[in-house]
Amino acid sequence: MFNDLLKFSFFLFLAAGASYALHYTTLHFFELDVPLELVNFAYKFNIGISLLFTSTTILISDKLKDQLGFIFLISGAVKIGIFIYLIKSSGFSTDKSVFLHFFIPYMVCVLVEIIYIIKILNRANF
């Protein structure tokens, strides 16, 4: 169980780190006028909340293996809700021009979560 948690954490940080490096390099290469605080916040939030929710899912996967898919869907909805609330309360601009700066880290983290949840579900004996 803890081995799974370490593997997931490593894979999440590796994928998010590579995505952040590419995102940051692209912003500087094209000299786009985007506040880096927004990009940094999006990556920190998505990595942190993905680590929290998926770690919890990994730890309870033995006891609640029949409900893992439902737990994953609920955690995704909660994650989006918390993210929208924090963005609105922090005062960041949320217009169409900055949508990708929110969406890219979200998709990277969700893809890593999906891959790892699939591995857990494939190992489960139903």
pLDDT digits (tens, 9 = 90+) for 38-53: 889 999 999 999 999 9
Q: How many CA atoms lie within 13 A of 124 on its CB side?
A: 18
* Mean pLDDT, rounded, of the chain: 88
Backbone angles phi, psi at 125, to 5 degrees: -95, 115
Place of tokens 């929110």: 102
- Whole-number Å distance between alpha carbons of 58 and 65: 10
Q: pLDDT tens digit string along 105-123?
A: 999 999 999 999 888 888 8
Q: What is the mean pLDDT of residues 15-26?
A: 94
Angle at 47 between CA 46 and CA 48, to 5 degrees: 95
Q: Taking the model in full, what pTM does it have?
A: 0.87
Q: Which two tokens stand for residue 3?
A: 């081995």
> Quick one: what percent of the chain has pLDDT higher than 90?
44
How far is it, in rounded angstroms, from Cα 12 to Cα 113? 8
Handedness of CA 104, 108, 110, 111 (dihedral sign): positive
